[in-house]
Amino acid sequence: MKDHVELRSGAYADSVTLLQVSRAVQAAPGVVAAQVAMATGLNLEVLTGMGFEVPASSPNDMVVALRLDDDADVATALAAVDAALVPTRPSSGDTTQAPPRTTGAALRHGGPGAVVLVSVPGASATVEAMDALEAGHDVMVFSDNVPVAEEVALKTYAATRGALVMGPDCGTALLDGVGLGFANAVRPGRIGLVAASGTGCQQLLTLLHHAGETLEGVGVRHALGVGGRDLSSAVGGLATREALRRLDADADVDLVVVVSKPPAPEVAEALAREAEALDTPVELGLLGRGQRDLTAVAEAVLARLGHEAPQWPVHGADNTGPATGPLLRGLFVGGTLCDESMLMAAEALGPIRSNIPLADDLALGEELIVDDHVMVDFGDDALTQGRAHPMIDPSLRNEQIARAAADPATGVILLDLVLGHGAEPDPAAHLAPAITAARSERAIPVIVSLVGTDLDPQGLAAQRDALVAAGAEVHLSNAAATRRALDLLSRTSSRSEGAHQ
Amino acid sequence: MSTSAVTVGATTPTVVTCGADMFADAVAGQAVDVERVDWRPPMPGTQDHLAAVATDPRRPEANRRAVQAMLGVTAHLVDVAPASEVLGLEKGQFLHAGPPIEWERTSGPLRGALMGGAALEGLVEDPEDAVALFESGSSVSLEPCHHRSAVGPMAGVVTPSMWMWVLEDRATGKRTYCSLNEGLGKVLRYGAYGPDVLTRLRWMGDVLGPLLQAAVRGTEEASDVTGILTQMLQMGDEAHNRNRAGTLMLLRDLSPAMVGTIEGGGFGSKDVADALRFVGGNDHFFLNLAMPACKLALDAGRDVPGSTMVVAMARNGTDFGIQVSGTGDQWFTGPAQVAEGLFLGDYGPDDANPDIGDSAITETAGIGGFAMATAPAIVRLVGGSVPDALATTQRMHEITLAENPRWSVPVLEFQGTPTGIDVTKVCRTGILPQINTGMAGAVAGVGQVGAGLVTPPAEIFPQALAALAQAVPGRSL
């Protein structure tokens, strides 16, 4: 082994650079030990400790101390020192920032009016939504499976800040024409919607858009989702109240429409009183036994604007023969559409089994198709835990369509298909084959409510044509579709053969 | 309100999305600006506690209060005096860095420093004899510096005869303390206790401390330590591993009065020259003022019920501990990690002791590793480049509650340093506080072996979060 020690006067590098240089040189071939350092007292101590003999020096000298294998070349090792001393990285000035990791971080420098859309798994949604509220922003919580206590906490806090919490489990919002979540592209206008129901909102949007094709002045400015539980006893309409206040204050809104899944009676009463007190007229479309269906609500809105309702479109009626059995099987991706159909069907057929039943004793277990009239909401929390919403992942519903079709007791299959921003680019491409397969053995009537507009990215006509070609009868109005299914059942099967064989 | 109360579209065309990309795409497809959050699942097992703490109605205001209290403090240097006087420390009482620890579990550098400290106090003749003294435990006691309003770098050992800086918040009269910095290399705080170390400490006790006391008491305007921190950050120090500008500014403040002690103060010109040379030649001298200034600020943010702000990070060479505003004096601890970095001489990772010292109080307050972007001279410890340093500071904004308007970073458009570590944000992002640190030799007596970067053990943040969740009113978890 041989030592090489040299002093470089006037050379300077900071200690961290030199530690790095030393490390780089230590890795060079033939180098046993290396220390490149300014000749300070401390460094001289270190060098002496390593066994180097350092000539007299001042702290402004750079010491290069190398210990080499006997056959190693000093010049090569010194070249390694020089290479390591040259800065390798040109200054790039690149300060590109990593994307924010929390909603709070994203809002740190955000504009004051930014709206936040949260769609992380439900267990983490509240935390992100709180970030938005703390920073003074409105938030839409698409996520479901958020505990109701957290929803109440979010909305109670929002009330102190004048912020709006849309959701949790809010599928749809339309703000100044910008759709969030699943939202249909519609013509702008002077109607404001408040919706405790995502697909109920979409049904109204699409019906009003359709009517507006021929009727002057029909269009929607805002649709504020509030989440399906907002009008429950636990939440007490906290977000609905704020949404009404916003729309009432909006000079560009002439008529407010509230649409909801069946609300808690006392909350509905309070809501009616509050609606009365507003300057802007309010049309209440609250689903429930004996209440109007969504299509009737749309017709009432049109009547308020001085219009007669149009004929709601139907396609593929030629496809539909008589019911092939006694039972109705409704398989929905839209919760409110399912609710609406169930309320209508229960009046005509009696008890309907469901995963979102009208009464507790009608609840379905894990078996989704039972020997009875059945309506399933595939968008319900219990069926979306750990999987995507059926508007994104249709596989679970398609399986159940096949099972219903294989059951000879099935008389009519009632389906929905929802278009709009956020939905599949071509949902009919998944549903049409399932319909074709269902009808391959027997000509089971398949009735579809297709909720969409001609402005939706999927193209309403193309989606409709695909479904019709597969053998479905396609309605724009879910109520009309349901009525048609009930009509087919009542004409073809006697009730005595019905539900319980 | 008469105008539109719903704001998207023309007025503020921005949507922040957190979650499924398809919704962000759908919004972008409508020609609206979208900012996407790069969300990832939180640390395992923290979801329920995060939700509980997020919806704690006290939290937002509590955190605002804690941050405001912290930012409102200014630290002035008001005195220098022995620990026996200002801390009431008695013979046999030893302060140390980090959370509480008993002799049996102490690491090499803490042992070495305690042994040297025992010799300094005359409890033993030879430092080696102190082992038996501490093992018996009869006439000695160990206590964290933090429990006496003090902070100690590295081993942080304080004994009654050591002279302490005394910092005060003029608004409240509250005070914090720190020992005088000994320099680098073989020094007590790195666990070295040889004759040189003790000789230097005795000189500090006999000459430097009294001289600085006279100078501080004789300086008309008390040094504004917070103000020096502001300036040094703009001059390329991050006030943890680099304190060069701060040290020189302190010297500028004190040197006239130091020279003044030659007449009438009873100090010889050689004493003053030695002291000036010692301070000026020790780039870390100001660290021992930066630390208590940070502690003074953070202590003001303590004990706010519902606040999730970290008020101390400290290590004793064995455990890494944090304290949180909303959970009082409770320590949440895990095993201290070995720093990654660069080594002196032919020392290597095997020679290094796990992380030690109260100096992470600087990061807790938003400087040190958090102000990495402002200290280009030391960024190479981060992994080699200026952009990395900028990214480090930016990343720390992800886990903090506020920006410190006083401590701004020129190269980041004078943005304030990220300040007030939020336990919930650490658990949500998995991003751990970045700490700049020195490395002590694992064996007692060795001293410094390198410098580098370290993070706390991740598990202490979920621990603290659980305690915060437990403390939410009406919530039993």
- pLDDT average, residue stretch A153-173: 95
Candidates B216, B225, B263, B230; CA nearest to B78 is: B216
- pLDDT average, residue stretch B170-195: 95
SS3 A119: strand
SS3 B454: strand
Least confident segment among A18-32, A190-204, A425-439, B460-474: A18-32
Q: What is the four-CA torsion angle of B399, B401, B407, B410, rounded to 10 degrees?
A: 60
pTM recorded for the entire structure: 0.87
Alpha-carbon gap, residue A106 to A104, rounded angstroms? 5
Using one digit for the tens of pLDDT, what is the confidence trace for B245-276?
999 999 999 999 999 999 877 899 999 999 99
How far is A113 from chain B, CA to nearest CA, in Å? 5
Least confident segment among A411-415, B220-224, B380-384, B456-460: B380-384
Main-chain dihedrals φ then ψ at residue B260, nearest 5 degrees: -60, -20
Candidates A421, A433, A460, A347; CA nearest to A175 is: A421
Average pLDDT, whole number, for chain B?
93
Candidates B423, B77, B464, B7; CA nearest to B246 is: B77
- B200 at interface of A, judged by CB pairs closer than 8 A: no
Model confidence at B342, pLDDT cuts 50, 70, 90, reads: confident
Alpha-carbon gap, residue A26 to A12, rounded angstroms? 20
pLDDT attached to residue A423: 86
* Residues from chain B contacting residue A115 (CB–CB below 8 Å): 7-8, 12, 14-16
Using one digit for the tens of pLDDT, what is the confidence trace for A339-367?
999 999 999 999 999 999 999 999 998 88
Q: Which residue has the tokens 């002791």?
A: B353
Candidates A496, A498, A480, A228; CA nearest to A372 is: A498
Q: Which residue has the tokens 């690491």?
A: B107
pLDDT attached to residue A486: 97
The answer on pLDDT for B379 being more than 90 is: no
Are B315 and B356 a contacting pair, CB within 8 Å?
yes
Write the residue in B1, B2, B429 that is nearest to A102 by C-beta: B429
What Cα–Cα distance (Å) separates residue A29 from each residue in A81, A86, B182, B236, B344?
A: 12, 19, 39, 36, 21
Q: Is the CB of B425 less than 8 angstroms away from the CB of A102? A: yes
Q: Is the CB of B27 less than 8 angstroms away from the CB of A126? A: no
Helix (H) or strand (E) holding A423: none
Sorted by sequence, the CB contacts under 8 Å of residue B248 that are 6+ apart come out as: B280
Determine whether B104 is exposed, middle or buried from the number of CB atoms within 10 Å of its CB (0-12, 13-18, 19+).
exposed
pLDDT attached to residue B384: 62
Candidates B322, B298, B304, B303; CA nearest to B459 is: B322
Handedness of CA B260, B261, B267, B272 (dihedral sign): negative
Q: Is the CB of A422 less than 8 angstroms away from the CB of B26? A: yes
The answer on pLDDT for B308 being more than 90 is: yes
Main-chain dihedrals φ then ψ at residue B453, nearest 5 degrees: -125, 145
- pLDDT average, residue stretch A229-246: 97
Percent of chain B exceeding pLDDT 70 equals: 96
Write the residue in A45, A115, A224 that is nearest to B185 by C-beta: A45
Helix (H) or strand (E) holding B342: strand B340-343
The answer on pLDDT for A497 being more than 60 is: no
Alpha-carbon gap, residue B208 to A136, rounded angstroms? 54
* Residues from chain B contacting residue A92 (CB–CB below 8 Å): 387
CA atoms within 13 Å, Cβ hemisphere of A359: 7
How far is A420 from chain B, CA to nearest CA, in Å? 9
Using one digit for the tens of pLDDT, what is the confidence trace for A106-144?
998 777 789 999 999 899 999 999 999 999 999 999 998
Write the residue in B26, B54, B344 that is nearest to A127 by C-beta: B54
- Quick count: other Cβ atoms within 10 Å of Cβ A12? 11
List helix spans (H) across A350-427.
Answer: 381-384, 395-406
Give this complex's ipTM: 0.91
SS3 B93: strand
Are B268 and B402 a contacting pair, CB within 8 Å?
no
Average pLDDT, whole number, for chain A?
91
A168 cis-preceded (ω within 30 degrees of 0): yes
What Cα–Cα distance (Å) separates residue B251 from each residue in A14, A103, B256, B259?
A: 22, 45, 9, 11
Q: 3-state SS of chain A: helix, strand, coil percent to 5?
A: 40, 20, 40
The answer on pLDDT for B199 being more than 80 is: yes
- pLDDT average, residue stretch B86-115: 98
Q: Between A501 and A309, where is the model more confident?
A: A309
Model confidence at B4, pLDDT cuts 50, 70, 90, reads: very low
Per-position b or e across A98-131, b if 16+ CB within 10 A of its CB: eebbbbbbbbeebeebbbbbbbbbbbbbbbbbbb
The gap from C-alpha A95 to its chain's centroid, in whole angstroms, comes to 32
Model confidence at A46, pLDDT cuts 50, 70, 90, reads: confident
Are A418 and A378 a contacting pair, CB within 8 Å?
no
